[in-house]
Amino acid sequence: MLSTLRERLAVLKATVLLALAVGLCGCAGPTQKSVADWHDAVVAVREQSATTFRGVNDLVREAQLKRAGSLSSLKESDFHPGLDAESVAAWNRALDSLAGYSAALSTLLSPELAAGVGDSTKRLGDSIATTSKSELFQKQPGLASALGKLGAKLASVAAAKNAQSIMAQTDTAVSEVLDQMARMINDDSGGMETGVYQTVHANWTLQADELRLEFLKAQSPDAKRNVAARYAAVLEQRDAADSALLGLRRSILELAASHTRAAAGGPMDTSALIASMREQTAFVKGLLTDLKPANN
């Protein structure tokens, strides 16, 4: 299993590098296809995040069950998920808003659909702004603020008939939304790292600590070797889970970068990025499959 995880990590890193390299090439200016590809990338990152977050919660729950053996009583607080349902819902709502935005851009680039698109774009902007004020975002004020700015900006530029002009005027807001989402995964801006990455890493470390204690109690060389093998597997799995979360963060930041390039008149080829997202989604699914026998 360890060699399989190493191979998957190697392939994953190569895919990410390819995505970044290809994303810098291509023709100038956003085309209908490139904007549609960006929309597809938003959808792909939602699938990637759903798989990754499900994996996060599975890992956290496994660590909580292991820890339960040392507890004198059970409390609900001992079994909080790694990423709560409200945060996941806020994350998905933000992606829905970005998907609606990219769909509006695609409409602008389609001659047969562009007529009258200004009103629908303004309604979309107003809808995003309203969404940002919902109770769903109470725990994510930074993301709520960024979405509010995107909605307001989109509503104010809705009369523009040029997709690149709209992208140029909304780019700062789009980048802020995606930056806030990246910070939900890992944020070191305040001098102390926070986010779901730290939660998952800490839970893997807890499992590793328990195995170190078990190693000290082992009475025979065979018993020690058995514990050491399980310890090495935990470290390998921790690194793989870390890679999956950081891969999701990279996808979010590359979405922002590709939008900025197109807003400046450059390329927005996201085909390699989408391929990378799908590869990382498959990687996480494979990781969770590998963990099942290890946790029994």
Task: Give residue-wise pLDDT tens across range 258-267.
Answer: 888 888 877 6
Task: Give phi and psi for 64, each to the nearest 5.
Answer: -65, -40
Q: If DSSP codes are grouped into helix, strand and coil, which group holds residue 257?
A: helix
Quickly tell me which residue has 């944020």 as its tokens: 187
pLDDT in tens, 164-202: 788 889 999 999 999 999 999 999 887 788 888 888 888
Q: Which residue has the higher pLDDT, 130 or 292?
A: 130
Residue 250 sits at the vertex; the CA angle it makes with 47 and 245, to the nearest 5 degrees, is 65
Of 3, 48, 84, 18, residue with least CA distance to 284: 48
Overall pTM > 0.85: no
pLDDT in tens, 81-126: 767 788 889 999 999 999 999 888 877 766 554 455 567 778 888 9
Mean pLDDT value of segment 215-225: 93
How far apart CA 121 and CA 21 sit, in angstroms, is: 33
How far apart CA 279 and CA 214 sit, in angstroms, is: 36
